[in-house]
Amino acid sequence: MPTRLLPPGIEVFERGWLSANNIFHFGDQDVSLVDTGYCAHENLTIDLVRNALNKNSLSRLDKVVNTHLHSDHCGGNAALAKAFHCEILIPAAEEKAVSNWNEDLLSYQNLGQECPRFAHDRLLIPGQEILLGRYVWQILAAPGHDHHSVMLYQPDHCILISADALWEEGFGVVFPEIWGEPGFEEVAQTLDLIETLPVSLVIPGHGKPFIDAAKSIATARSRLDYLASDPDRNARHGAKVLLKYKLIEWRTKDLDEVNHWIVGTPALKSAAKQLNMDLEDFIKWLPQALVKSGAAKLEDQKLIDLA
């Protein structure tokens, strides 16, 4: 089990797809949590932190650190700040968006998602270091999936917290490309950066920690080639991921309401445009595409999530 490779003072709360993994760091001087899951799971996130504090005879959570501000990574921020009076640290590039809670800069409206408003206390600046629990971590820029994302790297133990830049089998949707901004090149650069690091354990944003970074980098590169060689693939994949994510939360939803959400979600409208589909065709295609891939079923005009 790779988690046995975790040094003392680090615990990974492996979550699912709706909530990203949370990484709990503790030492004498600092107790921190990296990423906080989705808002619908905020009570579970608080319980996980409380259990870890109790188990390790700790009295406080000092800070929350977000690798990036997608709703599955920071949806628990507001609830944790309220429950533990902890500081919140966000990637420096998100300062303007969070200070004014600017919906045009934040991703939630664009992606049709929810995230309770929170305030940040400090910034994560790529190139600088940060104490998490008992170890000092390097803050690395990780553009691609999200251009403002950071990763965290601990050089003594060769541990990488990769967020959605590298999973055991791939990486997060290259969202910028869906609305016509470059992203594939940035994904490649971030993979190149990871390859330069001695890594003995990767803690990804989703899925279990894994040890074979080289194999995952190779898988990610071949996936990237597949997507970049035809941007329609990325648009189709991104649209399916966005609907699936929403459906995990809904579990079941009337098709009319699903369609209403699709046409009200700007990123999906961008995907339709990329695919040269008008919205009428797109709302016929997208739920069916999920069904075809085995991620959902349609019954009595309801779309139902399949795990």
Which residues of this chain interact with Zn ion, rule CB under 5 A? 70, 164, 172
* DSSP-assigned beta bridge partners for residue 139: 152
Cβ proximity to Zn ion: between 14 and 304 the closer is 14
The residue with its CB nearest to Zn ion is 70
Paired sense of beta strands 10-13 and 122-124, if any: unpaired
298 strand-pairing partners:
303
Residue 94 CB, nearest distance to Zn ion (Å)?
13
Minimum Å gap between C-beta 290 and Zn ion is: 19
- Smallest gap from residue 171 Cβ to Zn ion (A): 9
Work out how close the CB of 190 gets to Zn ion at its nearest, in angstroms, rounded to a whole number: 13
268 burial type by CB count under 10 A (0-12 exposed, 13-18 middle, 19+ buried):
buried
Residue with Cβ nearer Zn ion (12 or 69): 69
- For residue 73, the minimal CB distance to Zn ion (Å) is 6
Residue 164 or 168: which CB sits closer to Zn ion?
164
Q: How far is the CB of 281 from Zn ion (least distance, A)?
A: 28
Q: Which of 52/73 has CB closer to Zn ion? A: 73
**Cβ nearer to Zn ion, comparing 172 with 204:** 172
User: 172 or 238: whose CB is closer to Zn ion?
Assistant: 172
Q: Select 26 or 167, whichever has its Cβ closest to Zn ion.
A: 167
Q: What is the 3-state secondary structure (H, E, C) of the chain?
A: CHHHHCCCCEEEECCCCCCCCEEEEECCCCEEEECCCCHHHHHHHHHHHHHHHHHCCCCCCCEEECCCCCHHHHCCHHHHHHHHCCEEEEEHHHHHHHHCCCCCCCCHHHHCCCCCCCCCCEEECCCCEEEECCEEEEEEECCCCCCCCEEEEECCCCEEEEECCCECCECCCCHHHHCCCCCHHHHHHHHHHHHHCCCCEEEECCCCCECCHHHHHHHHHHHHHHHHCCHHHHHHHHHHHHHHHHHHHHCEEEHHHHHHHHHCCHHHHHHHHHCCCCHHHHHHHHHHHHHHCCCEEEECCEEEECC
Q: Which is nearer to Zn ion, 18 or 290 (CB)?
A: 18
Q: Minimum CB separation from Zn ion for residue 57, in Å?
A: 33
The nearest distance, CB 71 to Zn ion, in angstroms, is: 9
User: Residues 187-224, buried b or exposed e (16+ Cβ, 10 A)?
Assistant: bbebbebbeebebebbbbbbbebbeebeebbebbbebb
